[in-house]
Amino acid sequence: MDRRAPDTLWRATAGPKPGFGRLEQNAEAEVVVIGGGFTGLSAALHLARRGIDVLLLEAREIGWGASGRNAGFVVPNFSKADPATVMARLGREKGRQLLDLVGRGGNRVFEIALEGELGRQAEQNGWLQPAHSAAMADTLRKRVQDWQDLGRPVRWLDAAATAERTGMDIYHGALSDSSGGMINPLAYARALARLAVAAGVRIVEGAAVADVKEAGSDWQVETGETVVRARKVLLCTNAETEGAAARLARQVIPLNVYQIATEPLPSEMTARFSPLREPVSDTRANIFTFRLDADNRLISGGMAIVPLAAERRMGKRIARRLARELHLPEVPRVAHVWRGTAAVTTDFLPHIYRFGPGFLGATGCNGRGIAMTTMLGEVLADAVKGTALDELPVPVSEPAPIPFRRAARAAPSLVLLKGLWDDWRTTRRTAAKALNTPTLKGENP
């Protein structure tokens, strides 16, 4: 676990940190939630509102891990799996349940943001996924139709409309989801925590869980100096690897993602490439993303082929890419650079794992963390309250560590390396074609 406080924009803008207690002595709880990110906080909140006694243990601070280090995109969608794929893998009934769950994620996040009084820190202004190639445009058109058949507010934008809304003329069109948006993720995590405490949850920071052991019909949660006895345990630690979290980490491949935030940009500049302030993430293997915060700071991210000591190097590279892709007059000044770790499952779907009777874990945001994990917490609360595991909308399985996981951790770098070449060839052809088309309004030829 990284012991340094991350240099995120979110820590600088989320406002005062709420205070929480410490675990000074042994305790008891009906349910212990391990992990103070979106999944754990959502589960704790919904359990407490249903009258359950909940103790949440966080190893560092609320929102310390991926929940406080992501880019703040609220995307009620899957990163790789489209609706047809989900139903093919899970069956039509179970697939539709999962699709309905993820589809409700955007609205649920902004309902909580409103209740938590996040104000300008949360904007439900939609989400765009532009297609960088003709083949991906065909894929996204089909995806749009599938989501529309399920009643989702998703539509297809043609190339011209996409260019107007991104300031970029390389795209063949875009999927637009009006229920998405953007948020300060750390402020959102803290809002969830405040709401959970108001509902009766006991939150303890600085309580790293070393192990969870069976104790008769209960569970013994060991933090090193103290022991908590609980009827049920929820493990919500994403890709963290220390102590009890290792049980869940073995089910996923960790993916390091680097993020930057620039100094605030002039509104006349941002209006050219983000007139509706929509967050954007395209379909390239070396995915290009950008969004604005409430003060017009530009936020983007990327992956490193060689992740060792990459933060400074990636900060400069991402800023140069922003200037190149968005036709900025100069490379923007970088105010913050940070790294987070996403949890990727082999089928790119979320999963619940049964570690024992009454001991469940959940993970698998696959780069769609805010909306998906918020809903995943609700599903875990349903399971604790008695919903049969086979009736949950998320697949439930026994834990099975990924084979050759150490080698698999190198796979993202290899995929990225090949993807860079494929992206270059595709966008080079598109750019060459664009030279024979009229320039965008407001741009110089």
CB 303 within 8 A of CB 412: yes
Question: Quick one: pLDDT at residue 371?
Answer: 95
Per the CB < 8 A criterion, the answer to whether 140 and 77 are in contact is: no
CB hemisphere CA count around 166 (13 angstroms): 31
CA distance 185 to 205: 18
CATH H-level superfamily of 9-70+186-252+346-407: FAD/NAD(P)-binding domain (3.50.50.60)
Confidence (pTM): 0.91
* CB of 146 closer than 8 Å to CB of 184: no
Q: Which residues face 218 on adjacent strands?
A: 215
pLDDT value at residue 201? 97
- Map out the domains of the chain as residue ranges: 9-70+186-252+346-407
Q: Is residue 78 a contact partner of residue 228, using CB atoms and an 8 Å limit? A: no
Average pLDDT over residues 50-79: 95
Query: Which tops the pLDDT comparison, 210 or 305?
Result: 210
Q: What is the per-residue pLDDT across 15-25, written as a single tens digit (0 to 9) for each?
A: 999 999 888 89
pLDDT of residue 437: 39
- In tens, the pLDDT along 28-41 reads 999 999 999 999 99
Could you report the per-residue pLDDT of 192-244, keeping only the tens digit for each? 999 999 999 999 999 999 999 999 999 999 998 899 999 999 999 998 989 99
DSSP state of 269: H
User: Closest Cα to residue 234, out of 372, 350, 383?
Assistant: 383
pLDDT of residue 434: 43
- The distance of Cα 60 from the centroid of its chain, to the nearest Å, equals 19
Work out the pLDDT band at 423, boundaries 50, 70, 90: low
User: Mean pLDDT, to the nearest integer, of 404-415?
Assistant: 52
Whether 375 shows a pLDDT value over 70: the answer reads yes
Q: What pLDDT sits at residue 343?
A: 87
Q: Tens of pLDDT along 353-373? A: 999 999 999 987 777 789 999
Three-state DSSP string of 290-324? EEECCCCEEEEEECCCCCCCCHHHHHHHHHHHHHH
Look at residues 79, 75, 76, 82 and name the one whose alpha carbon lies nearest to residue 145. Answer: 82
Residue 81's pLDDT is 83
Question: Which of the pair, 400 or 193, is modelled with greater confidence?
Answer: 193
What pLDDT band is residue 440 in, cutting at 50, 70 and 90? very low
Query: Mean pLDDT score of the chain, rounded to an integer?
Result: 90
Tokens read off for 289: 């993303």
pLDDT tens for 158-178 read 999 999 999 999 999 999 999
pLDDT of residue 445: 27
Q: How does residue 425 score in pLDDT terms, banded at 50, 70 and 90?
A: low
What is the chain's length?
445
Q: How far is CA 78 from CA 64, 199, 322, 387, in A?
A: 24, 31, 25, 25
How many helices and strands, by DSSP H and E, does the chain display? 14, 20
Residue range 244-303, pLDDT digits in tens: 999 999 998 888 899 999 999 999 999 999 999 999 999 998 899 999 999 999 999 998
Is the per-residue pLDDT at 439 higher than 50? no
